[in-house]
Amino acid sequence: MSREVLEELRKAIMTYDCEGAEKWAREAVQRKVDPLKALDAMTVAIRQIGDGFGKGELWLPDLVGAAAAMTAATPIIEEELKRVGATRESLGTVVIGTVFGDIHTIGKTMVATLLTAGGFAVNDLGINVTAESFVEGITAHNADILAMSALMTTTAPEQRKVIETLKREGLRDQVKIMVGGGAITQEFADSIGANGYDPTAPGAVRLARRLMGK
């Protein structure tokens, strides 16, 4: 039962079928399929499209099509995840965003959703966020954790820039910093002085708990 739904979701992403993706996401919620498994199935599919693009076998419209299908389905699954997490007491305040120059939103939003479902108060600054806006966000929300996403090798250095800006402003020690996104590795995270890195969204929640000593 659940396998059929996951397979249909995967197929909808692979065939850029927005209506199908939306329909099967609703079906997943209705049939009580584990929402994390649903997100996982779609992530595997969109990464496959990305790999094809990377190898020159697929083109930008393929990326756009797969992203549109994923964007049609994810809010439905994320709503369900948030519903589950809505009643928990806050474990801490997170400011999250995708760094300047980078408009990839899917993974960042997934992390934000799972953090919310996991009991954190999350302020999502969106995409293409400058170092200055991160600083403003941290100050305005009195954040415990800053979470930054970067999907491209060209935008990963922005994470370093944000950390350097925080140091200059005397704010570095007030906030724990976690980084992620397809372009980030543990080695890179260590080299820029982040407090933690994880390659997955569920791992990001475990990391955030650890950083808060919970």
Interface residue with ligand B12, options 21, 120, 181, 211 (CB under 6 A):
181
Interface residue with ligand B12, options 8, 180, 188, 211 (CB under 6 A):
180
Question: Whole-angstrom Cα distance, residue 96 to residue 155?
Answer: 16
Interface residue with ligand B12, options 178, 188, 192, 211 (CB under 6 A):
178
The residue range among 16-24, 64-72, 158-166, 168-176 that interacts with ligand B12, by the rule CB under 6 A, is 64-72
Interface residue with ligand B12, options 104, 115, 124, 163 (CB under 6 A):
104
Picking from 90, 99, 73, 97, the residue whose alpha carbon sits closest to that of residue 16 is 73
Q: Does 111 bind ligand B12 (CB under 6 A)?
A: yes
Question: Whole-angstrom Cα distance, residue 46 to residue 48?
Answer: 5
CA torsion sign, 42 to 43 to 44 to 45?
A: positive
The residue range among 12-20, 133-141, 168-176, 198-206 that interacts with ligand B12, by the rule CB under 6 A, is 198-206
Identify whether the C-beta of residue 148 lies closer than 8 Å to the C-beta of residue 159.
Answer: yes
Q: Does 35 bind ligand B12 (CB under 6 A)?
A: no
In Å, how far from its chain's centre is CA 194?
A: 17
Which CB, 87 or 194, lies closer to ligand B12? 194
Interface residue with ligand B12, options 6, 12, 38, 67 (CB under 6 A):
67
| Strands of 80-192, DSSP E | 93-98, 121-124, 145-149, 176-180
Q: Does 200 bind ligand B12 (CB under 6 A)?
A: yes
Q: Does 211 bind ligand B12 (CB under 6 A)?
A: no
Sheet of 196-197: strand order equals: 121-124, 93-98, 145-149, 176-180, 196-197
Minimum separation from the CB atom of position 213 to ligand B12 (A): 17
Identify whether the C-beta of residue 95 lies closer than 8 Å to the C-beta of residue 137.
Answer: yes
Binding site for ligand B12 (CB under 6 A): 43, 46-47, 49-50, 53-54, 60, 63-64, 67, 71, 101-108, 110-111, 147-149, 151-154, 178-183, 198-201, 204, 207
